[in-house]
Structure 1
């Protein structure tokens, strides 16, 4: 084999290896610290939220985020219309049932790689959760996503050895406490952001952070 041919073959081999490495890197999943990842406390499982109760006289026994539950109700044969929500009286955003709340930690939260959520989306989720007479349920040692829109999530995490339910309005109140205490705005023209974790002495908590939805 001529020396020039050998050099050419080696160059082609090196180029092939380089291209293969580039393809492998490009196909690799995003690191766990990516802002698109959904983070919950270690050893927890994300489970669907169960919502029970009633709203505007309509019985509720559905699973999913509050946005998904309302969309299901809107698709069913009843008097509920998602478009009517804006016409109803909007609950105020002031915190209410926080008598048993022990702590509110703003992002950065120790041990969690969370990023802040859009304040406006969290505000809307809080208002949805305060509608009607609804209870939110989560399994033992699990987190359920209560609300998620515009990549901004509210969670309900249960540290107990049994399934747990609380008024969805109370979950909203804990999220509102984070909203009140943990707002952040980088500059005058940037959107307001919010994020943190509120704890209850009943061994459960409400995280608010950037999510994928």
Structure 2
């Protein structure tokens, strides 16, 4: 069994995100935003499917990145020492760099709590520093599975970089941990059936949205 440090090093070698605005116009995609007052810009990741191979651009969520790499190189997980992207060990994100300003719960439709937590774990596991194009009101969907999405939105007039992808996961976690009943719902009889939603505003002029979405 590989150590978590070795796995992290392998991921660092293949994953690096760049904002779509940094790419040629033909590679940058945008779509009308499902978030009132915000536009959506697809996030493009620069990745390697082979340890010694060229880089390739994959536009979409982190789940789509792994799907594309699987297709480009069916052995890429073994080549980089990654057994399964869904069970990557999450790292702890320090909240010292950022401070939450407010959490709004009475917006959007409920996402699945378990799928949202899985997306947060993925983000916490990916090393590197994400960047988002100039705002205000510029969002990118960084995670989506089982109709449950996480968006990262930049309200700064310039390109915004964060300390880590774990910073996005750290902010999204506030919706799951919120004591506001509007952030949560019970769909069934067990905790796995819980729903979650919300928008977390951070004082550094960026925010994270957790909501139901079409993946």
In the superposition, the TM-score normalised over structure 2's length comes to: 0.66
CA distance in 2, matches of 1:81, 1:198: 33
Q: Which of 68, 85, 94 in structure 2 is aligned with 1:72?
A: 68
Give the match for residue 189 of structure 2: 188
Give the match for residue 172 of structure 2: 175
Report the CA distance shift for 1:154/1:89 in structure 2 as closer, same or farther (over 3 A): closer
Give the match for residue 90 of structure 1: 89
CA distance in 2, matches of 1:160, 1:60: 28
Q: Which of 116, 133, 140 in structure 1 is aligned with 2:110?
A: 116
Alignment of 1:1-213 (within 5 A): 39-42=34-37, 44-51=38-45, 62-77=58-73, 80-81=76-77, 84-85=83-84, 89-91=88-90, 96-99=93-96, 100-109=98-107, 114-141=108-135, 142-166=138-162, 167-181=164-178, 182-185=183-186, 188=189, 191-213=193-215
Equivalent pair of 1:156/1:207 in contact (CA under 8 Å): yes
CA distance in 2, matches of 1:148, 1:172: 13
Report the CA distance shift for 1:54/1:170 in structure 2 as closer, same or farther (over 3 A): farther
SS in 1 for 2:201: strand
RMSD: 3.3
In the superposition, the TM-score normalised over structure 1's length comes to: 0.66
Larger of the two Rg values belongs to structure: 1
Per-residue CA deviations over 1:48-73 (Å, capped at 9, x if unaligned) read 11335899x79786431111111122
Per-residue CA deviations over 1:78-117 (Å, capped at 9, x if unaligned) read 853398226855326xx733331323424204xxxx1111
Report the CA distance shift for 1:61/1:97 in structure 2 as closer, same or farther (over 3 A): farther
Tell me how far 1:119 sits from its aligned partner: 0.4
Aligned residues: 170
Equivalent pair of 1:140/1:163 in contact (CA under 8 Å): yes
Equivalent pair of 1:52/1:62 in contact (CA under 8 Å): yes
Unmatched 5+ stretches in structure 2: 1-31
CA distance in 2, matches of 1:165, 1:148: 21
Question: Does 75-84 or 64-73 show the bigger shift?
Answer: 75-84
